[in-house]
Amino acid sequence: MKIDCAIHPVLGSVEFNKAIGSPWNFLKLPPLFGEKYRSPFDQLSVTPEQAMSPAAVAAYLRSTDVDYAVLSPTTRGYWPNPQQAAAVARAANTLLFKKWLESSESEGRFLGSIRLAMNDTDTALREIDRWADDDRFVQLVVPARSLATFGEQRFFPIWRAAAERGLVVYVHDDFSTLIEPPPSQVGFPSFFAEDHALRPMASIVQLTSFIIAGVFERLPELRVVFGDLSVHAARSLAIRTDKDWQSDRMEVPWVSDDPTTYLARHVRFVTQADDEISPHSKAATGTIGGDNSSLVVYGSRHPYWDGAKAEDVFPTWSENDRARCFADNAVEFYPRIASRVSAELSS
């Protein structure tokens, strides 16, 4: 079996704006990947038409032997107008439902994400309620560059709802292209190449926040997947939280064990292109925070140019460990995929 946890279909500007509705649909949408840091090449590996087409995506999945794919279209990150943000999230979810999940091309392969705008928690909770009863929605998707760290209390009801309803929280770094905040703590790098290399930063900030603010401590059932952060990049910063957690106790007494222990229970990392070349990828087991072979879930990140091909990830691992990466870990981690697979097996 193969499960692709990261398919990012493109919502075309015209259909997207139409779905957002008035008065919000007069805005000329910025390009998907932003305007400040333009790549010197096309960032989609297929044509825009193919990226927007359920038939084309289904053909891609058949060609890569994928049984289930979790779809999460980008909605350009943070929208400052909270009314517009809510309309955008609702539009994305409606489009995903009507055009993708309900399409005949799905053939039962397409699984969905409930996109949330993080501006107002009550609005986000209502958006979850709108879709969560449809068990094809297996996760919430939230933007990494949310302008506030996810450990803040105002987001807590969203994580609690996710934990209660068996929905994974998928952190997708989709750039916040409307406002394009500085991509780093120093400010603005000069080149696309730098900006691209620094991609993991926002996700690392959110991972650290989840751990240190005690979100994982408080919600034993919460599951988080990072779509744009390799297990190696995550670990190199997470180790720092381990170094000093005993000293930090006076400020954050709820961190009750060394922080990387939360990784194995609560976090998974989608396969990234850096997995292919990292020397740390050779080790499937025996690493801080949990075995690599337990912490990664396969995601092609189709149709982005910098996704991972299945045959290229972790070639030195045993067949068993690769199988865990391609299917078992996702089945184990996503409650709604687990029940879907077991229902299929028993039918």
Partner 1 sequence: MRYVVGAADDLPPGSSTIVYPEKVKSGIGVFNINGEFYALKNTCPHMGGPLCKGHVRGTSTAELPTDGMPEMHWVRDGEIVSCPWHHWEFEIKTGRTIFKSKQKVRSYPVTIESPEELERLKAGVETVPISVEGDAVVLEI
**Which spans of this chain sit near partner 1 (rule: CB under 8 A)?**
153, 157, 160, 214, 217-218, 244-247, 249-251, 253-254, 256-257
The conformational region for residue 21 under phi > 0 = left, psi -120 to 50 = alpha, else beta, is left
d(CA 246, CA 255): 9
Give min distance, CB of 130 to partner 1, in A: 23
CB 203, min distance to partner 1, A: 24
Of 163 and 337, which has the nearer Cβ to partner 1? 163
Nearer to partner 1, 190 or 246 (CB): 246
Instruction: Please say which residue, 256 or 285, places its beta carbon nearer to partner 1.
Output: 256
CB 296 within 8 A of CB 226: no
Minimum CB separation from partner 1 for residue 178, in Å? 30
Q: How far is the CB of 244 from partner 1 (least distance, A)?
A: 8
**Contact criterion met (CB below 8 Å) for 269 and 230:** yes
Cα dist. 312→72, 173, 292 in Å?
A: 23, 23, 16
Measured between alpha carbons, how far apart are the two ends of the chain, in Å?
A: 17
Q: Look at strands 3-7 and 110-115 and give their pairing.
A: unpaired
Tell me whether residue 70 or residue 255 sits nearer to partner 1 (CB atom): 255
Alpha-carbon span 29 to 31, nearest angstrom: 6
Reported as type and span, the H/E element at residue 200 is helix 200-212
Paired tokens of 264: 């194995």
The nearer residue to partner 1, 264 or 343, going by C-beta atoms, is: 264
- Is residue 77 within 8 A of residue 176, CB to CB? The reply is yes
Quote the tokens at residue 182.
């500085």
> Which is closer to partner 1, CB of 216 or CB of 334?
216
User: If phi over 0 gives left and psi between -120 and 50 gives alpha, with beta otherwise, what is residue 76?
Assistant: left
Place of tokens 């705008």: 117
Q: Which is nearer to partner 1, 22 or 153 (CB)?
A: 153
Which residues make beta-bridge pairs with 115? 141
CA distance 103 to 114: 17
